[in-house]
Structure 1
């Protein structure tokens, strides 16, 4: 995994865990690697790996079964989707709307784009 300088590493690892859960590679109830294993696998400090797990536990994405390890919570997919939707609406959508206005895109342009995306999704 390559890390960006523009975001804390523990948050980037959290995003990586989010992706694994949302695309089904990790399912509710699955055990995650130990803190040590994760740190070795991603070549990060153990404290960074632990901080990631603690943040994800606080968010309700992971459950810590003391002495056993961290597991994906039953509500993790829903929690992640809700968090990412809020983030999209607060951070990305305003930029997208600004770009739409700048490019003077019409509602017809956007509807056509949405139809194209839906057709591509249907074909795949």
Structure 2
């Protein structure tokens, strides 16, 4: 995983986990990789992964079954969408709109590019 220097690593890992849940790679009641396994896989400190899992547990996206590991919750998909939507609206929307305005990109062009993006990237529900 290539990390962006402008965003905390644990938040980028949270986005990675959320992507897997939204894409159906990890389904309700699936066991997530252990803290150590994910840390090795992503080449990060286990404390960073634990911080990610703590955040996702607070958002009720994952649950810790003591002694067994972390699992995807029943409400994970709706909670991921609510969490990601809030982050998008708070952090990403203003610069997105600003660029649309400054570059004079029409809504029709955006709509067409959006449809092309969906068609090219989500035929098999993968990104």
Shorter chain as denominator, the TM-score bin is 0.7 to 0.9
Structure-2 residue corresponding to 1:58:
58
TM-score (norm 2): 0.80
Over 3 Å counting, the alpha-carbon distance change for 1:92 and 1:67 in structure 2 is same
Q: Spell out structure 1 runs of 4+ moving beyond 6 A.
A: none
SS of equivalent residue, structure 2 residue 49:
helix
Q: Structure 1: any 5+ residue segments left out of the alignment? A: none
CA-CA distance at 1:100 after TM superposition: 2.8
Over 3 Å counting, the alpha-carbon distance change for 1:66 and 1:99 in structure 2 is same
**Given the alignment of the two structures, is residue 74 of structure 1 paired with residue 74 of structure 2, yes or no?**
yes
TM-score (norm 1): 0.81
Give the RMSD, CA atoms, in angstroms: 2.2
CA-CA distance at 1:4 after TM superposition: 2.2
**Given the alignment of the two structures, is residue 37 of structure 1 paired with residue 37 of structure 2, yes or no?**
yes
Looking at structure 1, the residues matched to 117 and 3 of structure 2 have their Cα atoms a distance apart, in angstroms, of: 31
Looking at structure 1, the residues matched to 110 and 6 of structure 2 have their Cα atoms a distance apart, in angstroms, of: 31
CA-CA distance at 1:14 after TM superposition: 0.9
CA-CA distance at 1:68 after TM superposition: 0.9
Looking at structure 2, the residues matched to 90 and 2 of structure 1 have their Cα atoms a distance apart, in angstroms, of: 24
SS of equivalent residue, structure 1 residue 63:
strand
Contact 2:59 2:83 in 1 (8 A): no
Q: Structure 2: any 5+ residue segments left out of the alignment? A: none
Over 3 Å counting, the alpha-carbon distance change for 1:15 and 1:121 in structure 2 is closer
Structure-2 residue corresponding to 1:26:
26
Looking at structure 2, the residues matched to 65 and 102 of structure 1 have their Cα atoms a distance apart, in angstroms, of: 49
**Given the alignment of the two structures, is residue 94 of structure 1 paired with residue 94 of structure 2, yes or no?**
yes
